[in-house]
Amino acid sequence: MIKLKTLLDTCSHRSKFLQPTLTLHYRTLNSLTTHQTLDSTIAYISFISSNPLFSLLGSCRSLPSLKELHSLLILDGHSSQLNLQTKLISLYGSLGDIESARQVFDQMPDPDMFSYKVMIRWYYISDLHFETIGFYKCLRKCLNEHDNVVFSIVVKACTELRDVNEGRKVHCDIVKAGSADGFVLTSLVDMYAKCGDVECSRRVFENIVDRDVVSWTSMIVAYVQNGCAEEALVLFNRMRSGLIEGNQHTLGSVVSACSKLRSLHQGKWVHGYAIKNGVDFNSHFVSSLVDMYMKCGAVLDAQSAFDESSNIDLVSWTAMIVGYSQNGYPNQAIGLFTNKYLHILPNSVAIASVISACAQLGHSQLGRAIHCHEVKLGLEDGNVINALVDMYAKCQMIKDARYLFDSLTNKDLITWNSVINGYAQIGCIYEVTRLFHQMRLEGFRPDEITLVTLLSCFASFGDLQIGSSLHAYCIKESLTCDNVYINTSLVHFYAKCGELTTARRVFDFMGEKNVISWNVLINAYGMQGDCNGTFDVFNDMVKESVHPTDATFTAILSACSHTGNLEAWKFFDLMCKDFDFTPKMNHYACLVDLLARSGRLEEAFSLVKNMRVQPDVSVFGSFLHGCSMHSRFDLGQKAVKWMFDQHPIDVSYYVLVSNLYALDGRWSQVSQIRELMKLKDLSKLPGCTVQLHKASSGMNCTTPVKFFQTGSFHH
């Protein structure tokens, strides 16, 4: 090495022009000296210092100039020099001409390990993974040497191809070589994990002697990717006990594990740990935090993590939009999309989530506008098309949904479910049935979503015959075995068809029951006016240690309301005191309706005025209907005055009273209400028009979208 340094110093004094070239080829020189080929190194330095053409290689920035210089080197008679050929391979590879690089390699009479390494590296960088593995096999046949960099590259190629068999062969070569470093072993951990063999990943990981943060992180990621979230958290704790602190990549994976486990407490701890240790909040970490909080239902925490991030990019932005949409915050999803759209170009995931938000709102105009932009951006993948079919179906634009469905060549089960659900929502039972049969003919096996949609549709029409046939199909295909969602839908279906005995039989044979199953059965007895049956089911539910929900008490109170059973008060007190529920609007509405139907209007009015929440239109509607039923117009007028004092500018209350007067034929009072609305400048809820700018060719819709109320002149 002293001799080499002397040569370098001598060359640098001889020519300032050559100093950048020597620096440029430092890696080549270092490789030669590492492999104890000092004579070759000296010959290489002598060659590059005496040949100006070689010095120009470092200046080649285009393929034509490189080929021209290569021709000159051939004419000069130096093209067969080993190190020159290796340099040419590297330059051709860097300029994307792998074919020429291979031609240069094939002309080498006796390529060394470094030449093979350069060729393998450029095959891998060019995403030619099959060629990478094939070239490695040639290396093994021609040279009896090994190199950890080559091992690492070939293992990564196997990873990209998800070819665990070739990966195992390379692993055997690594074991035989006996000098694998942590970098190579970490590559093996990643390869086995991505091929789904997490146990092999673990065994390789345990054999790494000097584990660094990269090794630990790779194994944590391996566990998370293979559904072993708990093991990932245990390994993270092992890592910390070994006094190795995680980086943003480690913590991002740990947060992903918390997300899979829906472990909000643990996720918050990791978030705090990152802040305390000054970890850089990169895009991956922020996106993982947003995803974890959203999946745990902590929308405000997700929003805080997102807002506090200084580096908002496509990944974190998309994660936030997806979270809003999936957690029932469609307005926020659309708002975030439109606010950031000018700065970030969306991907198909963001587009699909915003379309889903439009579907939740029934906002067909905005959905169509986003559809146009999606076409313009060329983002029509399967998820987007499925979201569009679902959006148009939920907006009852079934012709548009069907057009997209029919034009799709590669339909999947989600597409079929979306269009079937669309027809079910508009009551086209014949088309629902026809599509179900067509889906099966085309080789698709219905899942629980398909069957729940069908059963709900048949229940709405009370079609016992076709629903029973579907039940028989489920039994034949073993689809009801321990599937709580299908069985619960069957209970609901038979109850809606008046077959309470059959509904109870299905319920009793269910292997797994959840609180929704119990609620459906309670509601089934309530629909049949059997309050005692409702009470019995509730008592059985409590005995089975199933904790009731507020929907449970809504079903019981509703049953009492429709039958005039004053036991409702007992269950209302039970809900508040024993189960610590805060009464909601629907609970109060049931009680007010019960009292109003029973003629106990003063008690009902007192309850309305003393509710813990502000009474809405449904509560007042129940009370005023009772006043009309029992001809208590005096109390009704008093309630109307009180209601208008509470909601002086809410048009829905005025419309409610006007409609009730109209039903009673009291047209003078209807006129008075309408005059009062005019005096207060109130009108019914306005419609809207949509103004679209930057229209794309052939489609009458794009964004941005502006909304104008009917009657507005500020267009």
Per-residue tokens: 403: 């057009």
Lowest mean pLDDT among 64-73, 82-91, 96-105, 444-453: 64-73
Q: Please report which confidence band the pLDDT of residue 697 belongs to, taking 50, 70 and 90 as the band edges.
A: very low
SS3 705: strand
Residue 664 pLDDT: 61
pLDDT over 90 percentage in the chain: 26
Q: Please report which confidence band the pLDDT of residue 19 belongs to, taking 50, 70 and 90 as the band edges.
A: very low
Checking if the pLDDT of 385 tops 60, the result is yes
At position 449, the amino acid (one-letter code) is: I
CB 241 within 8 A of CB 208: no
Hey, CA dihedral for 597, 603, 605, 611, is it positive or negative? negative
CA torsion angle for 278, 281, 287, 289 (degrees, to 10)?
20
Cite the DSSP H helix spans in 178-328: 182-194, 198-206, 213-225, 229-241, 248-261, 264-276, 283-295, 299-308, 314-326
Tell which residue, 47, 46, 64, 58, has the closest CA to residue 17. Answer: 58
CA angle in degrees (0–180, nearest 5) for 196-198-200: 110
Q: What is the mean pLDDT of residues 658-672?
A: 66
Average pLDDT, the chain: 80
CB 550 within 8 A of CB 516: no
Provide CB contacts within 8 A for 8, sequence distance 6+: 22, 45
Q: What is the mean pLDDT of residues 701-708?
A: 37
Residue 345 pLDDT: 82
Q: Please report which confidence band the pLDDT of residue 704 belongs to, taking 50, 70 and 90 as the band edges.
A: very low
Checking if the pLDDT of 20 tops 50, the result is no
Q: What is the mean pLDDT of residues 344-359?
A: 89
Per-residue tokens: 683: 């009108």
Per-residue tokens: 610: 């003393």
Lowest mean pLDDT among 18-32, 623-637, 649-663: 18-32
Lowest mean pLDDT among 38-47, 358-367, 525-534: 38-47
Q: What is the mean pLDDT of residues 596-624?
A: 78
Higher-pLDDT residue of 350 and 244 is: 350
Tell which residue, 239, 243, 241, 242, has the closest CA to residue 221. Answer: 239
CA angle in degrees (0–180, nearest 5) for 89-158-176: 90
Lowest mean pLDDT among 250-264, 394-408, 603-617: 603-617
Residue 478 pLDDT: 84
Residue 4 pLDDT: 37
Provide CB contacts within 8 A for 491, sequence distance 6+: 503, 506, 507, 517, 520, 521, 524
Per-residue tokens: 60: 């080649």
Q: Please report which confidence band the pLDDT of residue 256 belongs to, taking 50, 70 and 90 as the band edges.
A: very high
Per-residue tokens: 402: 């069907």
Residue 550 pLDDT: 87
Distance from C-alpha of 615 to C-alpha of 646, rounded to nearest angstrom: 10
CA angle in degrees (0–180, nearest 5) for 576-578-584: 20
Tell which residue, 468, 470, 535, 527, has the closest CA to residue 502. Answer: 468
CB 88 within 8 A of CB 104: yes
Q: Please report which confidence band the pLDDT of residue 462 belongs to, taking 50, 70 and 90 as the band edges.
A: confident
CA distances from 658 to 417, 592, 593, 619, 632 (A): 42, 20, 20, 16, 17
Higher-pLDDT residue of 453 and 74 is: 453
CA distances from 609 to 275, 459, 588, 591 (A): 49, 38, 11, 13
| pTM check: above 0.75 | no
Residue 585 pLDDT: 85
Q: Please report which confidence band the pLDDT of residue 686 belongs to, taking 50, 70 and 90 as the band edges.
A: very low
SS3 691: strand
Higher-pLDDT residue of 660 and 618 is: 618
Q: What is the mean pLDDT of residues 270-286?
A: 87
Q: What is the mean pLDDT of residues 387-414?
A: 87
Longest C-alpha distance within the chain, in Å? 114
Distance from C-alpha of 500 to C-alpha of 506, rounded to nearest angstrom: 10
Q: What is the mean pLDDT of residues 469-494?
A: 88
Checking if the pLDDT of 200 tops 90, the result is yes
Q: Please report which confidence band the pLDDT of residue 684 belongs to, taking 50, 70 and 90 as the band edges.
A: low
Checking if the pLDDT of 715 tops 50, the result is no
Per-residue tokens: 365: 């105009």
Beta strands in 167-299 (DSSP E): none
What letter does residue 578 receive in the DSSP assignment?
I
Checking if the pLDDT of 52 tops 80, the result is no
Residue 656 pLDDT: 63
Q: What is the mean pLDDT of residues 300-328?
A: 88
**Cα(first)–Cα(last) distance of the chain, in Å?**
80
362-383 pLDDT, tens digit per residue, is 888 888 888 888 888 887 777 8
Distance from C-alpha of 498 to C-alpha of 367, rounded to nearest angstrom: 39
Residue 601 pLDDT: 80
Q: Please report which confidence band the pLDDT of residue 536 belongs to, taking 50, 70 and 90 as the band edges.
A: very high
Higher-pLDDT residue of 32 and 544 is: 544
Checking if the pLDDT of 31 tops 70, the result is no
Residue 682 pLDDT: 58
Helices 82-94 and 98-106 cross at an angle (nearest 10°) of 170
Q: What is the mean pLDDT of residues 315-330?
A: 90
Residue 438 pLDDT: 92
Q: Please report which confidence band the pLDDT of residue 409 belongs to, taking 50, 70 and 90 as the band edges.
A: confident
Residue 228 pLDDT: 92
Residue 520 pLDDT: 93
Residue 268 pLDDT: 92
SS3 692: strand
Q: Please report which confidence band the pLDDT of residue 315 belongs to, taking 50, 70 and 90 as the band edges.
A: confident
pLDDT over 70 percentage in the chain: 78
Residue 673 pLDDT: 66
Lowest mean pLDDT among 112-126, 348-362, 605-619: 605-619
CB 49 within 8 A of CB 11: yes
Rg of the chain, C-alpha, whole Å: 36
618-647 pLDDT, tens digit per residue, is 777 777 777 777 777 667 677 677 666 665
Which residue bears the tokens 């109130």? 682
CA distances from 455 to 297, 494, 590 (A): 29, 9, 28
Checking if the pLDDT of 51 tops 80, the result is no
Q: What is the mean pLDDT of residues 153-181?
A: 89
At position 330, the amino acid (one-letter code) is: P
Residue 625 pLDDT: 75
Residue 275's H or E segment, with its range, is helix 264-276
Task: Show the domains of the chain with their CATH numbers.
Answer: 211-311 (1.25.40)
Distance from C-alpha of 295 to C-alpha of 289, rounded to nearest angstrom: 10
